[in-house]
Amino acid sequence: MSTTVTNIFRVAELRRRLLFLLMAIVVYRIGSHIPTPGIDPTALFGFLNDAQGSGGLLTIMDLFSGGALFRFSVLALGIMPYISASIIMQLLTIVLPALERLQKEGDTGRKKINQYVRYLALILCVVQSAAMASWIQSIQDGAMIFMEPGFGFIVLVVLTATAGTMFLMWLGDQITEYGIGNGISMIIFAGIVARIPAGVIDIFAKRNTDYMNSLVIVLFFMIFAVVIFFVVYEESGQRRIPVQYAKRVVGRKVYGGQATHIPFKINPSGVIPIIFASALIAIPSQVASVTRTMEWGWLDAILRFFSYGNWAYIILYSLLVIFFAYMYTSVQFNPNDIAENLKKSGGFIPGYRPGTQTADYLKGVLSRVTIGGSFFLAAIAIFPDLMTKIPVFTAFRGSQSSLVYLMGGTSMLISVSVAVELIKQIESHLQMHNYDGFLKKSGKARR
């Protein structure tokens, strides 16, 4: 391990990229603590923390923003508008033939689509920040939170929050180009991981109170260690489809004849189904907040039945995650296109004829793989909710930074997947600078 770390800093390019990544993360964390002008961040944090507790849509959004939402800093919206715009554009690419043709044009088309994504993210930033500013102004005793209510306050919040998200998009591009790893993923990863130490310190500070004792704390971390193991195992799991290429003789040279494979991940959709399901499951609570003052008792009862924390909410949430996992996988992977590309390149799956038979086989494999991946994803998504249902762990609901949500569910899935990808990229950089593989026998990396 020590030799690996030494070799990382011996490679000049890798050392430069890692230092740039660390500096970018420091800038991001500093920006997360700069409050939006015209707002008392302490009063707003106290209100949101009391209103949301350790769960709810705002709490999940706060996790992705690295705590910037509850503090309502200049980076309050985080990078989520860009992620939402990317997901919407991916779905539109399947629906609209013009975007599909643009995507097939290579780098030029992808740059154009990425430009559309940024425009859409800008629109989402304006809409979301305006809605948040209007909601803050509607809070009872809001005078304690914001200084001067009115249209000017809304404009100020919109400008500040939108500029913050645009800055994060630019920072993510810089990390991708000059740092290491995907810039957007690293920003989300840094926001999640940065809040874990405060939650852990708060847990140990509250031990020997109520249910919080040393045995419960040890059991708590043991459970999460097991969950981390399964998440890493699931992220690394693949179903490899063997592919054989026929030999072709062109002049005096022989091409093809090699064997390879098509990797199908157990969870090819990542955390996107959870994001979709979280947005959809939040609609009943949002409608309930609007109809609460109306005399629609039956509607309010139905909406409260699916409110956050109830078993109906947990079951519906898990079903939505499974549904979106299947839908997104079918959108991302087209077995007919894969079979057609194999046929054109002279490849075939042993035992299956090129064309329709290969496509049917790939459909069956992808369907079976998605079953396990979608159920695992649903289990990970509802894991924090199930943890808070266990009486012995109810004391963790009041812990700082909602430790159950920081160390479980979507947060853990993102953190583990980004960390694994970061390690792979570091290894690839080391292999590029070593003739003998990961480490040379002499322990010295070639500069």
Query: Tens digits of per-residue pLDDT, 297-348?
Result: 566 666 666 666 677 778 888 888 888 888 878 777 778 888 888 888 778 8
Ramachandran sector of residue 342 (left: φ over 0; alpha: ψ -120 to 50; beta: rest): alpha
> Per-residue pLDDT tens for 372-381?
888 888 888 8
Average pLDDT for residues 65-73, to the nearest whole number?
77
Tokens of 291: 């109809």
Average pLDDT for residues 78-91, to the nearest whole number?
82
Which residue blocks in 293-444 are alpha helix, DSSP H? 297-305, 311-332, 335-344, 356-389, 403-406, 410-432
Burial of residue 141 (CB within 10 Å: 0-12, 13-18, 19+) is exposed
Of 48-57, 173-182, 261-270, 327-336, which gets the smallest average pLDDT? 48-57
Tokens of 298: 């039956």
Given this model, what pLDDT does residue 398 score? 53
* Closest alpha carbon to 58 in 70, 71, 40: 70
State what percent of residues in the chain have pLDDT above 70: 74
| Average pLDDT over the chain, rounded to an integer | 76
Distance between CA atoms of residues 116 and 90, nearest Å: 11
Please list, in sequence order, all residues whose beta carbon lies within 8 angstroms of the beta carbon of residue 401, skipping any fewer than 6 positions away. Answer: 67, 195, 196, 198, 199, 202
State what percent of residues in the chain have pLDDT above 90: 7
Distance between CA atoms of residues 132 and 126, nearest Å: 10
Which residue blocks in 183-310 are alpha helix, DSSP H? 183-193, 196-205, 214-236, 272-281, 283-291, 297-305
Average pLDDT for residues 251-263, to the nearest whole number?
70
Given this model, what pLDDT does residue 166 score? 93
Ramachandran sector of residue 37 (left: φ over 0; alpha: ψ -120 to 50; beta: rest): beta
Distance between CA atoms of residues 285 and 354, nearest Å: 50
Do 49 and 59 form a contact (C-beta atoms < 8 A)? Answer: no
What is the C-alpha radius of gyration for the chain, rounded to an integer number of angstroms?
25
Given this model, what pLDDT does residue 402 score? 59
Given this model, what pLDDT does residue 444 score? 46
Of 117-126, 227-236, 318-327, 406-415, which gets the smallest average pLDDT? 406-415
Using a cut of 0.85, tell me whether the model's pTM lies above it.
Answer: no
Handedness of CA 396, 399, 403, 409 (dihedral sign): positive
Residue 186 scores a pLDDT above 60 = yes
Kindly indicate the confidence band of residue 436, based on its pLDDT and cuts at 50, 70 and 90: very low
For the chain, what are the domain ranges? 32-179
Do 382 and 314 form a contact (C-beta atoms < 8 A)? Answer: yes
Q: Hey, is 313 helix, strand or coil?
A: helix
Kindly indicate the confidence band of residue 435, based on its pLDDT and cuts at 50, 70 and 90: very low
Given this model, what pLDDT does residue 445 score? 42
Kindly indicate the confidence band of residue 385, based on its pLDDT and cuts at 50, 70 and 90: confident
| Paired sense of beta strands 238-245 and 347-348, if any | antiparallel
Of 51-55, 325-329, 341-345, 393-397, which gets the smallest average pLDDT? 51-55
